[in-house]
Amino acid sequence: MANYTLKINNKSYRVEVEEDTPLLWVLRDHLGLVGTKYGCGIAQCGACTIHLNGTAVRSCVLPVSAIGKQKITTIEGLSANGEHPVQQAWSEIDVPQCGYCQAGQIMTASAFLNKNPKPTAAQITEAMNGNICRCGTYHRIHEAVALAASKLK
C-alpha cells in the first residue's frame, strides 16, 4: 500500500492503494469515477481510455505508481455538463447504442482532435480503429468525429 495524490479533472484526490493498481480501478473502486469503463483489461478495446497530460491512454494497464504529477482527465472532467464539442457531436449524431464503449470513444476522439483538428476521413478511421464498439456504431462514431472537427474550426 502506498499513498498517492492524483490530479484528476483539475481536482486533487488522495488514495491509498497498492502500487500496481491500474488507474482504471482506482477511478472506479476508490474515487467513484465510474464513467471510465472496464472492457478487457489488456489494452485491446479502449473502453477505459482517459487523457494523461492530454494524450489518450488506456487506464486498465496504467499502474497508479507510474502517474506521478501528470494530469488525468476522465469522461467526467472533459467538460462541466457535456458541452465539449465531441460530446455535443455524439449527442447530435445520436451515437450510443448500448453506450458502454462510448466514454472511451469520446476520450480517444477528443485527444485525437486536439492534436489534429482538421482530420481527413482516413485519419479519423485510423485514430478510432483501436476502440471496439461491440454494437457496431462505427459509422456514427466516424460521423460524430467529423462533426466535432467542424465545430472546432
Partner 1 sequence: MVGGGFLLSFRWFESSASPVQTIAEEVNFNSYLSIAPNDVITIFAPNPEVGQNIKTAFPMIVAEELDADWTKVKIVQAHLDTKKFERQATAGSGAMQHSWDRLRKAGATARMMLVEAAAKRWNVSAAALTTDNGFVWHTESGRKLSYGSLATDAATMKVPEGVKLKVKKDYKLIGKPIHNTDNAEMITGKPLYGMDTYREGMLIAMIERPPFGTKIKFAETAAAKAMPGIVEVITFKNKVAVLGKSTWQVTKARKLLKVEYEPDGAVESTTEHNTLMKQLLDKADVKPSRKDGDVEAVFKTAAQVITREYQAPFLSHACMEPMNFFAHVRPDGVELIGPAQLPEDTRKNVAKLLGIDIEKITLQMTRMGGGFGRRQRSDYSMEAAELSSMVKAPVKVIWTREDDMQGGQYRPAMRYRFQAALDEEGNWIGYRMRGVGINSGNSTRPDHFPAGAVANFLVDSIDHKSPVTTAPWRAPSENFLGFAEQSFFDEIAAAAHRDPIEYRLAYLEKAQKTPVGAVKYDIERMKGVIKLVAEKSNWGKNKELYQGFSAYFSHGSYIAQVAEIEMKNGSLVLRKMYAAVDCGVVVNLSGAYQQVKGGIIDGLGHALYGEVTLQDGIPLQKNFDTYRLIRMKEVPDVEVYFVDSDINPTGLGEPALPPAAAALANAFFKATGKRLYHQPFSKEEAMKELTLNQSS
Q: Which residues contact ligand FES by CB under 6 A?
A: 38-41, 43-48, 58, 60, 96-102, 133-135, 137
One residue of 57, 67, 128, 147 binding partner 1 per CB under 8 A: 128
Nearer to ligand FES, 39 or 77 (CB): 39
Nearer to ligand FES, 13 or 41 (CB): 41
Share of the chain residues as helix, strand and coil, in percent rounded to the nearest 5: 40, 20, 40
Q: Which does 147 bind (CB under 5 to 8 A by kind): partner 1, ligand FES, none?
A: none
Q: Kindly state whether residue 146 participates in binding partner 1, applying the rule CB under 8 A.
A: no
> Which among 51-59, 65-73, 110-118, 131-139 is the span making contact with partner 1, rule CB under 8 A?
131-139
> Which among 51-59, 65-73, 110-118, 135-143 is the span making contact with partner 1, rule CB under 8 A?
135-143
Burial of 148 (C-beta count, 10 Å sphere; 0-12/13-18/19+): buried
The three three-digit cell numbers of residue 100, written as one number: 458502454
Cβ burial 114-146 (10 Å sphere, 16+ → b, else e): eeeeebeeeebeebbeebbbeeebbebbbbbbb
Nearest-angstrom CA–CA distance, 115 and 95: 23
Q: Kindly state whether residue 118 participates in binding partner 1, applying the rule CB under 8 A.
A: no
